[in-house]
Amino acid sequence: MTTDNLPRRFAGRTVLVTGAGTGFGAEIAVRAAQEGADVAVHYNRSRAGAEKTAERVEAAGGKSVIVQADITHWDQIRAMADQVWTAFGRLDVAINNVGDVARDQMSWRDITEESIDHVLDVDIKGTMLCTHEFGSRMLEQESGGSIVNIGSTVIVRGSARAPQYAAAKYGILGITKSYAAAFAPKVRVNTFAPGFIETEATLSREDWKTGRAEKLRSMTPMGRIPAPAEVAGTALFLATQDASHMTGGYLVADGGYNMVGA
């Protein structure tokens, strides 16, 4: 799909994407801008990446603001939210994309207490604090808002490689459902669950380069692993008017790999 024929689902709306300096978050931010949004580009350490994403947002016609925060600290999330509301006057959509997948861990045997603490801190605490802070402020807006938490289909099969990652992503479902109930009907909260995505980080993994990619493609009915740009628009669907009756939901886009459902 070229940018010429993209829908304008976010014309006149403001979108915040956490972890937008690299990977999937960057592509969600750019896609939102291509569809008409002004975008707050969050980063923790990837300042150069955030600046590049902001440039792409503006090239697509959107206004951008760059914000920094370690999402495991509530005071930093509050400060980030203050910046966003000051810059835009409101926030219509928050995409909570930041997450740690314990990428360097190749076996459950290599798990450490430090890694467990870090993954749960970022993925569960961080997602919960962002949902809480952004959503409570959206409730004060006449127009409400929408929150999309980026989950994973790892919860379907679990992860023998990194159990802490599967546990953390499962926890996001609890966060999503709880705040969906708390914030309804004014603010919707949903989880988007991609399957494997060929981000730069994934492509650089040793196991990916030595057979895992081919194996996963062979197990995926669609026969391929997408680049992040392909599923960025799918994640954003949950924040559109077409999804106005969806809250507390779990939307999967994994090429048929898991075939979850009733």
Each residue's pLDDT tens digit, 123-180: 999 999 999 999 999 999 999 999 999 999 999 989 999 999 999 999 999 999 999 9
**Distance from C-alpha of 73 to C-alpha of 164, rounded to nearest angstrom:** 20
pLDDT over 70 (residue 213): yes
Please pick, among 165, 179, 250, 257, the residue that the annotation labels catalytic.
165
**Distance from C-alpha of 55 to C-alpha of 45, rounded to nearest angstrom:** 18
Each residue's pLDDT tens digit, 77-114: 999 999 999 999 999 999 999 988 887 888 899 999 99
Q: How confident is the model at residue 2 (pLDDT cuts 50, 70, 90)?
A: low
- The set of residues, in sequence order, having a beta carbon less than 8 Å from that of 95 and lying 6+ positions away, is 15, 16, 17, 18, 25, 28, 32, 147, 148, 150, 235, 236, 239
pLDDT, averaged across the chain: 93
- Residue ranges of domains in the chain: 3-252
pLDDT over 70 (residue 33): yes
**Distance from C-alpha of 244 to C-alpha of 93, rounded to nearest angstrom:** 13
**Helical (H) or strand (E) element with 189:** strand 187-194
Let me know if domain 3-252 sits in CATH 3.50.50.60.
no
Looking at the chain, the whole-number percentage of residues with pLDDT higher than 70 is: 97
Q: For the whole model, what pTM was predicted?
A: 0.94
Q: How confident is the model at residue 211 (pLDDT cuts 50, 70, 90)?
A: confident
pLDDT over 80 (residue 63): yes
Amino acid type, 243: A
| Cα angle 234-237-240, degrees, rounded to a multiple of 5 | 165
Note if 165 is an active site residue: yes
